[in-house]
């Protein structure tokens, strides 16, 4: 099997990213399905192994093709950009923000050069980025900026449930204002295309309702009547396999049981609550629409436990698995 190469930037070195990476790479099964490549700093990796009580060999390389990719070894492209003596665990600091950004930047360049097949990212800290003078607020914005991509899609996957988001980090009031016929129709088209890029060519996309019971034909909220239903009807006329609006109290369960291939959630928490309640640690974020596939853990830097070795690596290992699962389909579609 031609195992895809998955770049893993370490994330903020003052957070739990390095710890969950080294823990995840003790999973021998990951090496059966992919070639995991860490982009980071050697001393940070060594420190993380000390925190976790692990002894793995660090194999420093300059190019992905030089990796050994075997259990017990961490293949590392060392950017040597962290002064370990000055690093303060669990603290916002410019050095951590700058290093995290440079790890991502290098990973993106490798992906654009087609030297790696996907990127599985670890947590970064928005305040540390700002302190470092990085102009982006988070991963999605960094990746979009470095690749010139406009408004990439976010997709969550956990077990059999896949959820897209019509809106992301805006207030609930603004999210409601963004639910327009034009936007819903555009997202139906883009979500369908995204599923195809991942190799999912069959199944119906469901659009969640906004109001309780989808507004009961305008009795309590008319967004469904004025915007969501017309968008779905237009999409069907154009040949898209889409259903809805379907009440948010049932649509995620129906998708989980196989009725739908994915759900278009209308605002941030609507989809986050559904996926994370199902399985918080195995909820993986995918960024679709970039020139390469990106997956990510869906938790933060956990500064409160950084440096203790307590952080769970379940989500990190799952992010790598999902990247390995979809990267071959995604790259063939480009």
Q: Does residue 21 surpass a pLDDT of 90?
A: yes
pLDDT at 52: 96
Q: How confident is the model at residue 225 (pLDDT cuts 50, 70, 90)?
A: confident
Q: What is the pTM of this model?
A: 0.90
| Contact yes or no for 158/297 (Cβ under 8 A) | no
Q: How confident is the model at residue 166 (pLDDT cuts 50, 70, 90)?
A: very high
User: Tokens 């290093």 — which residue?
Assistant: 99
User: Tokens 């967004």 — which residue?
Assistant: 223
Residue with more model confidence, 172 or 37: 37
**Closest-CA residue to 106 (of 124, 92, 119):** 119
CA distance 119 to 302: 21
The string of DSSP letters for 224-265 reads: IIIIIHHHHHHHHHTT--EEEEE-TTTHHHHHHTTS-SEEEE
**Closest-CA residue to 144 (of 116, 108, 173):** 108
pLDDT at 210: 81
Structure tokens at 54: 């692990």
pLDDT at 131: 94
The string of DSSP letters for 94-107 reads: HHHHHHHHHHHHHH
Structure tokens at 152: 């990439």
Consecutive H or E run containing 206: strand 205-208
pLDDT at 22: 97
CA distance 38 to 92: 23
What Rg, from alpha-carbon coordinates, does the chain have? 20
Q: Does residue 273 surpass a pLDDT of 60?
A: yes
Q: How confident is the model at residue 220 (pLDDT cuts 50, 70, 90)?
A: confident
CA 71 to chain CA centroid, Å, is 25
Q: Does residue 80 surpass a pLDDT of 70?
A: yes
Q: Which residues, other chains included, contact 16 with Cβ-Cβ below 8 Å and sequence gap of 6+?
A: 123, 301, 302, 305, 306, 311
| Contact yes or no for 159/277 (Cβ under 8 A) | no
For all residues of the chain together, what is the average pLDDT?
A: 93
Number of H helices, E strands in the chain: 13, 12
């Amino acid at each position: 099997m031609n195992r895809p190469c998955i770049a893993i930037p370490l994330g903020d070195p003052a957070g739990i990213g390095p710890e969950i990476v080294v823990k995840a790479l003790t999973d021998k099964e990951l090496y059966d399905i992919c070639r995991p490549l860490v982009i980071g700093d050697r001393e940070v990796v060594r420190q993380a192994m000390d925190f976790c009580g692990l002894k793995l060999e660090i194999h420093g390389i300059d190019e992905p093709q030089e990796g050994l990719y075997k259990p017990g070894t961490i293949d590392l492209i060392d950017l040597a950009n962290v002064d370990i003596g000055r690093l303060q665990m669990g603290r916002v600091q410019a050095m951590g923000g700058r290093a995290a950004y440079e790890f991502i930047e290098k990973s993106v360049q490798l992906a654009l050069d087609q030297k790696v097949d996907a990127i599985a990212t670890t947590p970064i800290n928005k305040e540390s980025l700002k302190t470092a003078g990085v102009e982006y607020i988070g991963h999605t914005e960094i990746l979009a900026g470095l690749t010139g991509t406009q408004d990439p899609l976010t997709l969550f996957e956990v077990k059999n449930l896949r959820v897209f988001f019509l809106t992301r980090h805006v207030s609930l009031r603004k999210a409601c204002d963004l639910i327009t016929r034009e936007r819903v129709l555009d997202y139906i088209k883009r979500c369908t295309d995204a599923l195809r890029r991942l190799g999912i060519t069959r199944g119906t996309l469901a659009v969640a309702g906004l109001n309780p019971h989808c507004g009961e034909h305008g009795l309590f909220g008319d967004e469904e009547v004025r915007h969501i239903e017309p968008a779905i009807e237009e999409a069907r006329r154009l040949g898209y396999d889409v259903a809805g609006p379907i009440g948010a109290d049932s649509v995620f369960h129906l998708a989980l049981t196989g009725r739908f291939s994915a759900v278009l959630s209308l605002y941030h928490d609507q989809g986050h609550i559904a996926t994370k309640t199902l399985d918080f640690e195995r909820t993986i974020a995918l960024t679709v629409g970039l020139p390469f596939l990106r997956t990510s853990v869906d938790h933060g830097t956990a500064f409160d436990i950084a440096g203790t070795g307590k952080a769970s690596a379940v989500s990190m290992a799952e992010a790598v698995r999902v990247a390995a699962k979809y990267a071959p389909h995604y790259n063939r579609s480009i």
